[in-house]
């Protein structure tokens, strides 16, 4: 192999590296859900957010450093199926959607835990407060794109959600499970 051939091979390899490092980009498709579960007076309740957008969903299981999520949630679309609770959630005692219309989650990196589960580490801004939140990630490619599931737990009081009598964790539990099941379509 001549010196020129070696240089061309090295140049071709160097040019291919940025392409190999990029994750696949996705749009959120129909049938995707984003939800939450909590406890009120010891009884579990489940809810969903009817509207959320993902400006970025990039994922590569073989190269987690190139992966990233950037998701914005319309907090006024929270529904639990209970009229009283659904009317209270947008109010100043809970999400206060007049002041804080959206929640925003953006990843800061990915890691694997001791069990080998992929963890999305990121910052959640909710109710005007930004805190780190870790989400367990399950990614399953399929013929038309992929399925992405995320789960994690946060403490609502860390974000100032629930004021006055609703700060009482014996009435409404502090821990809230967040979950998402996204049907991803290639961009």
Q: What is the pLDDT of residues 84-119, one digit of tens each?
A: 999 999 999 999 999 999 999 999 999 999 999 999
The kind and range of the H/E element at 47 are: strand 43-49
pLDDT band at 17 (very low <50, low <70, confident <90, very high): very low
The reply to whether 16 falls in a domain is no
Is residue 64 scored above 80 in pLDDT? yes
Question: Does a structural domain hold residue 7?
Answer: no
Structurally, the chain folds into a number of domains equal to 1
Model confidence at 40: pLDDT above 90: yes
The CATH number that applies at residue 137 is 2.40.128.110
9 assigned to some structural domain: no
Domain presence at residue 181 = yes
The answer to whether position 8 is within a domain reads no
- Of 15-29, 76-90, 115-129, 130-144, the one with minimum mean pLDDT is 15-29
Asked if 90 and 53 count as a contact pair (C-beta separation under 8 A), the reply is no
Mean pLDDT score across all residues of the chain = 90
Q: Torsion angle, CA of 167/173/174/178, rounded to 10 degrees? A: -130
This prediction's pTM: 0.86
pLDDT given for residue 43 in this prediction? 95
1 found inside a domain: no
- The candidate with the shortest Cα–Cα distance to 130, out of 169, 108, 103, is 103
The total of other beta-carbon atoms located within 10 Å of residue 82's CB is 13
- 3-class DSSP state for residue 103? strand
Evaluate whether residue 122 is within a structural domain: yes
- Asked, for residue 120, whether it belongs to a domain, the answer is yes
Enclosing domain of residue 70 = 24-186
What pLDDT does residue 14 have? 41
CA distances from 111 to 9, 29, 122, 160 (A): 33, 26, 11, 28
Strands 129-142 and 52-59: unpaired
């Amino acid at each position: 192999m001549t010196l020129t051939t070696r240089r061309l091979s090295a140049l071709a390899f160097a040019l291919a590296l940025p392409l190999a490092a990029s994750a696949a980009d996705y749009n959120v498709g129909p049938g995707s859900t984003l939800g939450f579960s909590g406890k009120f007076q010891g009884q579990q309740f489940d809810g969903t957010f009817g509207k959320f957008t993902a400006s970025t969903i990039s994922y590569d299981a073989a190269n987690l450093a190139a992966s990233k999520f950037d998701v914005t949630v319309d907090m006024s679309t929270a529904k639990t199926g209970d009229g009283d609770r659904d009317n209270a959630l947008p109010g100043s005692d809970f999400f206060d959607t007049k002041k804080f219309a959206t929640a925003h989650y953006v990843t800061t990196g990915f890691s694997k835990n001791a069990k080998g589960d992929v963890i999305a580490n990121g910052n959640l801004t909710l109710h005007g407060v930004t805190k780190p939140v870790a989400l367990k990630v399950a990614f399953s490619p399929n013929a038309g794109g992929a399925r992405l599931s995320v789960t994690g737990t946060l403490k609502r009081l860390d974000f100032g959600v629930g004021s006055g009598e609703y700060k009482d964790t014996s009435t409404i539990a502090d821990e809230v499970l967040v979950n998402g099941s996204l049907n991803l379509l290639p961009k």
